[in-house]
Amino acid sequence: MRICVIGSGYVGLVAATCLAEIGHEVVCVDSDLEKIARLNEGQPLIHEEFLQELLSRHHKGRLAFSPAVEASIRDAHTIFIAVGTPCTPSGEADLSYVESVARTIAQLSEGYKLIIEKSTVPVYTNDWIERAMVMNGRDHNGFDVVSNPEFLREGSAVTDFLYPDRIVVGSRNERAARSMREIYKPIIDGTYELQASAVPRPEGSRQKPFYIETTPQSAELIKHASNSFLALKISFINAVANICEAVGADVEHVREGLGTDRRIGPDFLRAGIGYGGSCFPKDIAAFRAAAHACGYELCLLDQARKINEDQRFRFVKKIRKALWTLKDKNLAVLGLAFKGGTDDIRQSPAIEIIQSLIAEGCKIIAYDPAAMQRTRAVLGSAIRYATDSYDAMNGADALLILTDWKEFGMLDLQKVKACLRYPIVLDGRNVYKPSEMQKAGLNYYSVGRLPLEISHSSAKRASALTQS
């Protein structure tokens, strides 16, 4: 099929590339001309596993990038809308980008158009797009609007798109539903995986996804409810972690006990400094606002948001307690992205914690495998940038781990101790076991577990032993 994807951000770019990978002719357009120019130069713009490989495979073949939004819309039969839906100050989703695209499609449509809403939007947005089409003189027979929310996770976006748990399609008639089945056919029936050049299916993923056909309202609600539920799970384990700290329990053991109950499941039960990114904070606020607009107060979500915000303050308090005072302390930070595997720093807890520490007079030197460039654009020279993990901690008063990159869980702890001025590690993602830190002779502060403090006398003994 010939498809136009509007928006070349995390979702638009991944969707366009993967739609080309499963056999469609795709043009991906964006009003940001610089982005399109860079994509046309072969720069992938975002850090995602397999993306570069698929771009090289399809760019200038089945996949094109174009700044000509209007011409591409006019030519396309099938249009995916993947523009941003940020948060307004009152928490509602800002739908102005979606509305502007809908109006453009309405004004330029000549033949039939299948309009697919991929951005995360509140319930009834599908109706609004339909209304925009009708208000601009389009006949009901000349278009369909489908809600097809995206569930990919940054860091594993390509494999999530190609091997999803489920595909949700909200449509009003069989004509639109049939076209959607056609678009996703190689993924639904598993034939994509059989291709020799296919991106390998990740271990543990479903062989064939659930294909859920429903109404547009239900599809829109599924997306908001899913993200809100995942955010609730994270805040729940963080609340439990705070109780663990108060009573001397170990949240990692509690997590195992909870997560091995099949009704609960182990995912999204990692205690830490909280969720961030461009989705959870805004989607939870938008769902709260949409529920309010329908006359229902979803206060549960307020609490989840508050617990999440408090986690960052609690961690800064923990740093202060471990270091006595903060002013003029040199701190090594590992991790800037909102989670491991991505270069996205939007609403990253790491960035917020760094900003609080700078405000308290700390000097920060940071390292992240993918997010340095984006951080430079936000924090500039307010912090220093290291060339690798050990370079960051060389001579630092303490080490902070703020993002759960795999490589940060595989450090040579003897080397860490040798690099640091004081043997202090604060782990905001619980990537280490206290026993590993104890063996290395490091003071270790994590989330939901008692602090591990090497006593002065044993530290002196260890140092005397090392010298002898």
Complex with ligand NAD: residue 78 or 389, whichever CB lies closer: 78
Instruction: Decide: is 343 part of the binding site for ligand NAD (CB under 6 A).
Output: no
Alpha helices in 294-400 (DSSP H): 300-323, 349-359, 372-379, 389-393
Binding test (CB under 6 A) with ligand NAD, winner from 28, 55, 79, 83:
83
Of 25-33, 50-58, 298-306, 406-414, which part binds ligand NAD (CB under 6 A)? 25-33
User: What secondary structure letter does DSSP report for 267?
Assistant: T
Between residue 279 and residue 298, which ones bind ligand NAD under the rule CB under 6 A?
Answer: 279
Which residues neighbour 292 within 8 Å (Cβ) at sequence distance 6 or greater?
Answer: 298
Query: Any contact of residue 47 with ligand NAD (CB under 6 A)?
Result: no
The CA-atom distances, in angstroms, between 241 and each of 227, 255, 281, 434 are 21, 9, 20, 15
Q: Which of residues 209-228 bind ligand NAD (CB under 6 A)?
A: none
- Contact (Cβ atoms closer than 8 angstroms) between residue 70 and residue 104: yes
Which listed residue (85, 126, 148, 375) binds ligand NAD by CB under 6 A? 85
Q: What amino acid occupies position 181?
A: R
Query: How many residues touch ligand NAD (CB under 6 A)?
Result: 27
276 binds ligand NAD (CB under 6 A): no
Question: Of 18, 279, 362, 419, which is the active-site residue?
Answer: 279
According to the binding rule CB under 6 A, does residue 91 interact with ligand NAD?
Answer: no
Residue number with CB closer to ligand NAD (150 or 397): 150
**Residue 166 vs 178, nearer CB to ligand NAD:** 166
Nearest residue to ligand NAD on Cβ basis: 9
| Shortest distance in whole angstroms from residue 282 CB to ligand NAD | 7
Antiparallel, parallel or unpaired: β 330-334 and 398-401? parallel
Task: Work out whether 146 is an interface residue with ligand NAD (CB under 6 A).
Answer: no
Owner of token pair 């903060």:
326
CA–CA separation, 11 and 363 (whole Å): 35
Helix (H, G, I), strand (E, B) or coil at 45: coil
Query: Is residue 84 a contact residue for ligand NAD (CB under 6 A)?
Result: yes
- CB 58, min distance to ligand NAD, A: 19
Among 5, 11, 20, 332, binds ligand NAD (CB under 6 A): 11
Question: Of 147-155, 170-178, 190-198, 310-318, which segment contacts ligand NAD by CB under 6 A?
Answer: 147-155
100 makes contact with ligand NAD (CB under 6 A): yes
Residue 416 contacts by C-beta under 8 Å, 6 or more apart in sequence? 390, 393, 399, 425, 440, 442
| Residue 341 Rama label (left phi>0; alpha psi -120 to 50; beta) | left
Q: Are 427 and 444 in contact (CB under 8 A)?
A: yes
Under rule CB under 6 A, residue 6 binds ligand NAD: yes
Query: How many other β-carbons are positioned within 10 Å of the β-carbon of residue 52?
Result: 14
Give the three-state DSSP class for 112: coil
Among 20, 27, 101, 222, binds ligand NAD (CB under 6 A): 101
Nearest residue (CB) to ligand NAD, 65 versus 385: 65
> Known catalytic residue: 419?
no
For residues 343 and 350, the answer to whether their CB atoms sit within 8 Å is: no
Contact status: 82 vs ligand NAD (CB under 6 A): yes
- Tell me if 28 contacts ligand NAD by CB under 6 A: no
Give the neighbor-by-neighbor strand order of the sheet with 166-170.
63-66, 25-29, 2-6, 78-81, 113-117, 143-147, 166-170, 210-214
Interface residue with ligand NAD among 40, 52, 97, 459 (CB under 6 A) is 97
User: Tokens representing 145?
Assistant: 């609007």
Helix or strand or coil: residue 16? Answer: helix
In this structure, how many other beta carbons lie within 10 angstroms of the beta carbon of residue 168? 22
Please tell me whether residue 7 binds ligand NAD under the rule CB under 6 A: yes
Binding string to ligand NAD for residues 150 to 169, with x set by CB under 6 A, is what?
x-x-x---------------
Task: Give the interface with ligand NAD as residue ranges (CB under 6 A).
Answer: 6-12, 29-32, 35, 69, 82-85, 97, 100-101, 119-120, 150, 152, 154, 278-279
Looking at the annotation, which residues are catalytic? 279
